[in-house]
Structure 1
Amino acid sequence: MDIDCIIQEPRKSLVPILLSLFLIGCGSDDGDSSGPPPLSAWETGSNPNVTFTASFTDLDGIAHIEPLGEIQAFHNFSEHTYVFIKPEVSEVPVYAPVDMDLVNVTFDGVGYQPMFRASCEVVIRFGHITNPIPAIRDLVVDQGISMFEGQASTLLKFSAGDLIGTTSGTVQAKSFDFGVYHSERPLTFLNDDRFHPVETFKYASCPYDYFTPALRTQMYDLFGPKPLAQPLSCRGPRGKEGTIAGTWFDTQEVFSTPYFGQTEFSPLHVATALNGTVKIVRGTESTVNRVLFGTATHVDPEEVTTEHCYELDSGGYFYFQLQPDGTLHVVRETSGTCPSEFPASGFAVYYR
């Protein structure tokens, strides 16, 4: 544990240091310093600048990585990255990228979701781990816990490079989740109030930026799917002011306790994937609507500042019209082609 990241004054005596550690640790929301900090506070300590020194998996077995902000069914913002296993690889190992403490693990009936603390400020989460080591499997609980509100006790300690388990990923996509969250680096959305009540949205961070330079380069090279030039960052929130790009909601009211980022309130998400495909997801629908790169109506939504109609590869169309008041009018038809002008009626209204 790095004492200097908690104690800023010169070390004149060991007693004041130990006393400060006893009182501060990772801190607490209620300010109660009457007792010792939880075990994890003693072991991980405060370090906002954690460096990951070991790969989280065997990169030779990975087909591509989708960074933050990708569109998937049932989501309005992807706050973790998706790691896709090569078709010819049955499963890949999952390793601890840094010294860290296991603080929680849940099971959804198919895959395990372990959560780790690398420091007071940095939390690591994996999803869809199909075969964790027995020590992790034995610690499964029924529900998740808050990442930063209060401090959970350490269940197991891992060193960088230790095996967490193996995974074959999801049945549908053969992928697993890798997310990192930083309590001192909140994301900024076009409307923070829509997202910030949800910890995973508010504190999502690019996992690959924490790795040493050589590992970081290897992981960024896997961003995809190809073939377009890949970004030099994980992207993050996809909304762009003055355009149709990003997430929209069908309620003007902002709810303080959203369910999974308000997907129950039918958001609409419009963004471009790494291969150039425009993806459109509406509400909790299982369908990801696509406009393929190079097709007649393809336009990057970040370049649409007035209106545009997208004809979908599955049939039908979405017609978007941005209003002067900042709302978005949307027409969705499951058949036919784009009309010559935006309809005067029959549209839905969405809000940022």
Structure 2
Amino acid sequence: MMASLAPRQPTTSTRDAEVSTHLSVKAGDLIGYTTGTIVAHTWDFYLSNTSKHNRFANQARYVNSGDLQKLLTADCPYGYFSEAMEAEYYARFGDRSGQDGPGTCDISPDRIGTIAGGWFKQRFEADAIPEGEVGWGMAIVEGADGEVQVNDERHTVRAQHGDRTYADPKTVTGEHCYQYNRQPIEYAYLKLLNDMELAAAFGAGECPAQMPNEYSVYYR
């Protein structure tokens, strides 16, 4: 069944070859295997549970905006394994220094009143968003490995437990600067303007004492 749905020619990516079908499996079935990507050997997979109803800071945006709709029923895949295998997967999580991470899934990371979660380039207006257009601007999350990542289209700033500028995004209710201590050093200065707006500035060097004059505004 699965083989019949695969591309006829081998390919390194199936991102544009989505196929919808119903396939029943039972516990213990081998449904496939992979060595991951060619270089890094990593593999991302996605699980949806239609009985779940995830909540976000601006629920209407996710209900009405293209690909965001699939996040409404997304679920953590590791919880569907046996307890022993689930624990084995979580034990493999760790930060870039090799330290163990907390090993948890956070499917809906938005926290109203904090900087945590997803932010977008434009205010949400249901009648003004083209079909399929998402408009992602930035994500501020703490991953399953315990590492905070601030990602926009051009920057990635990371902070780990033990770093001077580490802070759980879900506890930041005002402003905070994350400093990525690689070479060259980079920072992300974030300031919550209100529940639905966030100012962000990225730059080279150490964290400044206050928000730089040039910054961008993102929206829930």
- Alignment of structure 1 residues 253-272 onto 2, 5 Å: 253-254=124-125, 255=129, 257-259=131-133, 262=134, 265-272=135-142
Name the amino acid aligned to 2:165: T
| TM-score relative to the length of structure 1 | 0.51
Q: Do residues 227 (structure 1) and 99 (structure 2) align? A: yes
How many percent identity over aligned positions?
29
C-alpha distance 163-212 of structure 1, shift in aligned 2 (>3 A): closer
Counterpart amino acid of 1:258? G
Aligned to 1:276, which of 146, 169, 175?
A: 146
User: Is residue 61 of structure 2 the alignment partner of residue 194 of structure 1?
Assistant: yes
Structure index of larger Rg: 1
- CA 1:184 to 1:279, structure 2 compared with 1: closer, same or farther past 3 Å? same
Which residue in 2 is equivalent to 1:323?
193
Q: Which runs of 5+ in 2 are unaligned?
A: none
Contact kept? 2:175, 2:192, Cα under 8 Å: yes
- Is 1:110 matched up with 2:12? yes
The match for 1:251 is 122
Instruction: Give the alignment partner of residue 346 of structure 1, picking from 204, 211, 214.
Output: 214
CA gap of 1:301–1:172, structure 2 versus 1, over 3 A, is: farther
1:39 corresponds in structure 2 to none
Query: In 2, are the aligned partners of 1:270 and 1:281 still within 8 Å (CA)?
Result: yes
2:159 equivalent in structure 1: 291
Query: In 2, distance between residues paired with 1:105 and 1:243?
Result: 43
Give the 5 Å matches for 1:17-36: none
Change (3 A) 1:211 1:174: same
- Asked if the contact 1:248–1:268 (Cα under 8 Å) also holds between the matched residues in 2, the reply is yes
Amino acid at match of 1:298: Y
- SS of 1:296's equivalent? coil
Task: Name the structure 1 match of 2:205.
Answer: 336
Which letter does structure 2 place at the counterpart of 1:323? Answer: L
Asked if residue 211 in structure 1 is aligned to residue 113 in structure 2, the reply is no
Contact 2:157 2:188 in 1 (8 A): no
Shift of 1:249: 0.8
- Is the contact made by 2:112 and 2:195 (CA closer than 8 Å) also made in structure 1? no
Map of 1:41-60 to 2, 5 A cutoff?
none
Residue 268 and residue 111 in structure 1: after superposition, are their counterparts in 2 closer, same or farther (change >3 A)?
closer
Pair 1:303 & 2:171 matched: yes
CA distance in 2, matches of 1:220, 1:246: 22
* Alignment CA distance shift 1:108-1:313 (3 Å): farther
**1:176 and 2:43 are equivalent in the alignment:** yes
Give the TM-score normalised by structure 2: 0.77
Q: From the superposition, tell whether residues 184 and 164 of structure 1 become closer, same or farther in structure 2 (CA, over 3 Å).
A: closer
User: What's the Cα RMSD here?
Assistant: 3.1
Q: Which runs of 5+ in 1 are unaligned?
A: 1-100, 114-141, 147-151
* Change beyond 3 A, Cα 1:236–1:165: closer
